[in-house]
Structure 1
Amino acid sequence: MAGRLEAVTGCMFSGKTEELLRRVERARIAKKEVLLFKPELDTRYAMEHVVTHHGRALPCCRLPTDISWDGFSGLIADHPVASTDVFAFDEAHFFGPSFPELAERLVGLGKRVIVAGLDLNFRGEPFGPMPELLALADEAVKLAAVCTVCGQPATRSQRLVAGKPATGGPEVLIGGLESYEPRCREHFIPPSR
């Protein structure tokens, strides 16, 4: 069987994790062996589960953000690659530059690989390995949220500080509704550079 890379992307609150978990559940219903992962950096909601903003959760394994093929092989030694049909990764934007190679290696072994992650950071710039993953994907799905200002489709993640658009800060700031809101292009206010 030929491998396949599926990428699910969009802004915060667009349903990326919900879609990832939907695909994982369908694979399990089809009696496929599935492994679900998230980066160690993601400490929201639960440490050993991938959890949506609405509370839906599935157990997962945590991976270091700088994971490589060699490191990955060692970490999943209890779950042989050969007997796993589907590898699913949430918050893929947090993984490092070697992550697309890891995904492609799995695809080359005939595996179905599903990644979900932000396409843009809070500045509105391409985020982490997601641009490369989207380019390599056999299927790319871009989801939109609802703009909190006007109700139109939102494609940007507005970082908030004290309820106001952030004017700067580090690229990575783990958070949810307290730190981000979805915005359309018109109402997105990029931070100063």
Structure 2
Amino acid sequence: MYTEEVFKRRSEVGGSIEVICGSMFSGKTEELMRRVSRARIAKVSVEIFSPASDIRYDKSALVSHNAKSIPSKAVEDAASILKLADGTEVIGIDEAQFFYDELPQVCQTLANKGVRVIVAGLDMDYKGRPFGVMPQLMALADAVTKLHAVCMKCGRQAMYSYRLVPNESQILLGEKESYEARCRECYNLDGKI
């Protein structure tokens, strides 16, 4: 296990907030899983959290679109992360756009305590608007990584999540039956922006 001295040294280095963002199918969850796996190799204590409202996969695992998975905890709200993260050195948070306004403060609190916080989420909704708390998290972040998918119309770099089904709700959980990645030009062809 970790000695008190090692934990103290790591905490003194200082925490950070890393944001991984992009459209659907851009590999955000996969990148979060890669970073968390590397932390585990380094023998760092890790916890991963996702919103309980995201019921597409598994409540006890983070699952990427390509079916890779890693154990995680589903939580009702961001405040629960603080309660469950005590003594953890790296916190991963997926689908951050589904958390409410308290998530940025939770991330700040954790980072100020010396925790490395890695957050992944959609930066824009299906209408191309900033999504949820993601703009605030990006502003607070020590580092932001924007990932891109492949446009399902033309094969270029995509940054938009195009909704295929008629539904005006900002939040509509779905996969390839409901969304596809689009580049700016192909997204605009259908009059979204």
Could you tell me how far apart the structure 1 residues matched to 2:184 and 2:149 are?
A: 12
Identity of aligned residues (%): 46
* CA apart distance, 1:40: 0.6
Distance 1:152-1:142 versus aligned 2 partners, 3 A rule: same
Could you tell me how far apart the structure 1 residues matched to 2:58 and 2:67 are?
A: 10
| Residues 1:42 and 2:54 aligned together | yes
Could you tell me how far apart the structure 2 residues matched to 1:25 and 1:177 are?
A: 27
* CA apart distance, 1:46: 1.4
Instruction: Give 2:173's aligned amino acid.
Output: I
* CA apart distance, 1:141: 0.2
Q: Does structure 1 conserve the Cα–Cα contact (< 8 Å) formed by 2:82 and 2:106?
A: no
Alignment length, in residue pairs? 179
* CA apart distance, 1:17: 0.3
Q: Does structure 2 conserve the Cα–Cα contact (< 8 Å) formed by 1:123 and 1:190?
A: no
| Residues 1:6 and 2:18 aligned together | yes
Instruction: Give 1:128's aligned amino acid.
Output: G
Corresponding residue of 1:67: 78
Could you tell me how far apart the structure 1 residues matched to 2:66 and 2:90 are?
A: 24
* CA apart distance, 1:191: 4.8
Corresponding residue of 2:110: 106
Could you tell me how far apart the structure 2 residues matched to 1:183 and 1:105 are?
A: 36
- Structure 1 or 2: more helix by fraction: 2
Find the residue that maps to 2:29 and give its secondary structure.
helix
Could you tell me how far apart the structure 2 residues matched to 1:72 and 1:37 are?
A: 7
Corresponding residue of 1:183: 182
| Residues 1:116 and 2:115 aligned together | no
Runs of 4+ deviating beyond 4 Å: none
Where does the alignment leave 5 or more consecutive residues of structure 1 unmatched?
Answer: none
Q: TM-score, normalised by structure 2?
A: 0.89
Q: Deviations over 1:49-100 (max 9, x none)?
A: 1000111001111111x433xx4444x1xxx52x211010000010001110
Could you tell me how far apart the structure 2 residues matched to 1:90 and 1:18 are?
A: 10
Matches within 5 A, 1:141-180: 141-161=145-165, 166=166, 168-180=167-179
Q: TM-score, normalised by structure 1?
A: 0.89
Q: Does structure 2 conserve the Cα–Cα contact (< 8 Å) formed by 1:12 and 1:118?
A: yes
Instruction: Give 2:45's aligned amino acid.
Output: E
Q: Does structure 1 conserve the Cα–Cα contact (< 8 Å) formed by 2:161 and 2:180?
A: yes
CA RMSD of aligned residues (A): 1.4
